[in-house]
Amino acid sequence: MSNERKKLSPAQELALISQVNRVCPLDAEPLFYKTGTRSFKNYEIAHIYPLNPTSNEESLLEKEERLGLDVNDEDNLIPLCTTCHTKFDKPRTVEGYQELVAIKKKAIERSSQEELWKTNPIKESILEIVSAIYADADEGIEAEITFNSMKVDEKLNDTISKPTRRKIKNNVTAYYTFIREKLVLLDKAGDCTSEIISNQIKGFYLIQKGNGVGQQAAFDNIVKWLNAKTKAESNDAAEIITSFFIQNCEVFE
């Protein structure tokens, strides 16, 4: 008995397109094209594990990971440009299947992180620190705390890339005292601002740790969360603040 392709609602299809940022995840081809003032589809919704696999495909993928038991589950669906969809299906290969499974798993993880952004607040006062970083951060304080940045090395493991490790250490060296002083100023309002912000950031990190993600992914996810919450002009401030809390022990033990 063959499986029937289930019709997706517009909301389901939009969610799948958003997961891949409106481009084909295999060749970065836009999933829409424009003619005049009208937009047209340039994609098809592909089943990662085949909707109705042939006996050869069943044998080929027998030992491969499946993203759900129901082939029509959204976890097994991904938008591909029409060219890539044809190439993926004919002929289906283990390598092509594994590539698309890995891409989809990352897309699902990104969606999960976006849900966490909604349920994990950050105190609005942090916007004052973000604004100060862009407006008047004094980077002439490196000599004072250069030795402190060495603590970062004790907390970072091999899952952190060398460029990210260097970025964190540079941020700590250049901005640690600046951020600490800004938090002290916020505390003068008398509402335990620094402690609340520290606990919120630590809480978000502990969620990452509980989900078993490595330090690199945890760092990236905290930065994206802070940037989404503060709507900063770039990732710079979120990276600086995250680096501060790594040094300060809220992030990474």
pLDDT digits (tens, 9 = 90+) for 66-109: 998 899 999 999 999 999 999 999 999 999 999 999 999 999 99
**What is the SS3 assignment for 79?**
strand
pLDDT bucket at 148, cuts 50 / 70 / 90: low
Query: In which residue are the tokens 């919704």 written?
Result: 45
Three-state SS letters, 180-214: HHHHHHHHCCCCCHHHHHHHHHHHHHHHHHHCCCC
Asked if the model's pLDDT at residue 46 lies above 70, the reply is yes
pLDDT bucket at 154, cuts 50 / 70 / 90: confident
In this prediction, residue 147 carries a pLDDT of 46
> In this structure, is the dihedral angle defined by the CA atoms of residues 65, 104, 168 and 166, taken in order, positive or negative?
positive
Mean pLDDT of the chain: 91
pTM of the predicted structure, to 2 decimals: 0.82
- What are the tens digits of pLDDT across the range 203-234? 999 999 999 999 999 999 999 999 999 998 89
Three-state SS letters, 15-62: HHHHHCCCECCCCCCECEEEECCEEEECEEEEECCCCCCCHHHHHHCC
173 in Cβ contact with 149 (< 8 Å): yes
Q: Which residues pair with 32 in a beta bridge?
A: 41
Asked if the model's pLDDT at residue 184 lies above 50, the reply is yes
In this prediction, residue 202 carries a pLDDT of 96
CA 80 from chain center: how many Å? 21
**What is the SS3 assignment for 123?**
coil
pLDDT bucket at 140, cuts 50 / 70 / 90: very low
User: What angle (nearest 5°) sits at the alpha carbon of residue 151, between those of residues 160 and 252?
Assistant: 50
